[in-house]
Each structure stands twice: as C-alpha cells, then as structure tokens.
Structure 1
C-alpha cells in the first residue's frame, strides 16, 4: 500500500511521521537536494579513486544481482 501526501504543512507532516513511527509503519522520505548533491559528490570521488587504481568499481550485472 502506498500513501502519497501532497501540499501538507511541515507541522502536519511531523505529526503524521511521528504517528506512523509509533504504529511501526515504515516511512520513506524524499531525499532533500543537499543529500542528493552529497551522494553525487561521493559517487564522483569513488570514480576518481577507481580511475587512479585505488579501488575497484562494481559492474552493472553485480549491482543488479544485489538488488
């Protein structure tokens, strides 16, 4: 079951999030822009390390098998 909340005030979101947590309902939050940028920055660093021979990247088939 999926529930999508649109145009909800931050105060109401906090209330709903707390209630879901108390009821044991898993809530996935959308990542904010800062966390997306940080994830991209980390990915670029991993690629740079692999290009320098300091680490090995995972191929796409192994990544899909993990999922």
Structure 2
C-alpha cells in the first residue's frame, strides 16, 4: 500500500521520517520535473531578452495592456 502525505510542514518532516523509519517503512521522495516544453520556452525567452529582442514598457503601459 502507498501513502502520500501532502502539505507537510518542514518542521514536522523529521518527526515523520523518524516514525516511518522506526516502523520499518520505506521512504521515497518523488521529484516532479517541469514540463520540458515549458522549460524550453522560458530559456528561449531569456535568450531573446539577452540578445536585445525584448521590449521595455513602463508600468503605465503594462497596466494599459492588461486591461
């Protein structure tokens, strides 16, 4: 059987790990990587800005755009 704990506070994690270990439970930490397409888009956008292809906007212009 699997048990998944969510919203565990950092201060409680050592206690839970210790309890699980004393009971003989196996602890696995599963990392969920970012979507590769999302990462690719972010890296490309950062490169474009670095290459000077970005545009500058004032806060007023940005607020107007978001209306």
TM range (shorter): 0.3 to 0.5
Compare CA radii of gyration and give the structure with the larger one.
Answer: 2
> Which of 1 and 2 has higher RCO (CA within 8 Å, sep 6+)?
1
Of Structure 1 and Structure 2, the greater helix share is in: 1
